[in-house]
Amino acid sequence: MVGLRKGSCYRRLERSYTRRSKYKSSAYIKSFPPHKISKFEMGDKHKTYKYKVSLVSRDSLQLRHNAIESARMVVNRRLQTGLGMEFFLAVNVYPHHGLRENRMLGGAHADRLQTGMAHSFGKVINSCAQVKKGKTLFTAFVNDNGLELAKEALKAANPRLPGRCFVEIEDVVV
């Protein structure tokens, strides 16, 4: 079974492309696979918090939905075990952009079944979020007792994401 392509295949930011064709059925993307991000908001949303801790991107890049979900799970697990429900975590990016692949057959005598790569459009196999430099990826709202834990949790999410990120702390003005 073939897994995911390497992330370096989809590293560059590209604008969304819609193919123009004289045939209506070939002029648009027919289906888009669902993303795997299960929640975008976790914790207690209705409380007031003193600090806002954010994970901010240093680079312009594309984040696949499985990388966002992996980082979300790490941050949520660390905050829940340390603070219970005394926090609020929000995922600030949404995977709108489709990643396409023109599947080629491999193996013996497969060359007679392929149509080649000339002007290939491909099928959507994955989705990603396009992130510009300085965009906030995750935001955690905590009080005094959870500030250090929130910083550590967001730093632990960084290796699961492509590119480089930094943690930013702000006082919430009420």
- pTM for the complete prediction? 0.86
List strands edge to edge, sheet with 88-91: 41-43, 88-91, 136-142, 51-57, 165-171
Residue 53's Cβ-count burial label (10 Å; 0-12, 13-18, 19+) is buried
pLDDT tens, per residue, the chain with 174 residues? 467 888 787 777 877 777 778 888 777 777 888 999 999 999 999 999 999 999 999 999 999 999 999 999 999 999 999 999 999 999 999 999 888 887 776 666 655 656 666 667 778 888 999 999 999 999 999 999 999 999 999 999 999 998 899 999 999 865
Overall number of domains in the chain: 1
Range list of H helices, the chain: 65-83, 147-157
Give domain status of residue 148, yes or no.
yes
| Beta-ladder partners of 42 | 89
Give domain status of residue 49, yes or no.
yes
Give domain status of residue 9, yes or no.
no
Give domain status of residue 141, yes or no.
yes
Give domain status of residue 112, yes or no.
no
CATH assignment of the domain containing 148: 3.90.1170.10
Give domain status of residue 82, yes or no.
yes
Nearest to 144 by CA among 48, 72, 8: 48
Full residue range of the structural domain in which residue 69 is found: 35-102+121-171
Give domain status of residue 2, yes or no.
no
Give domain status of residue 15, yes or no.
no
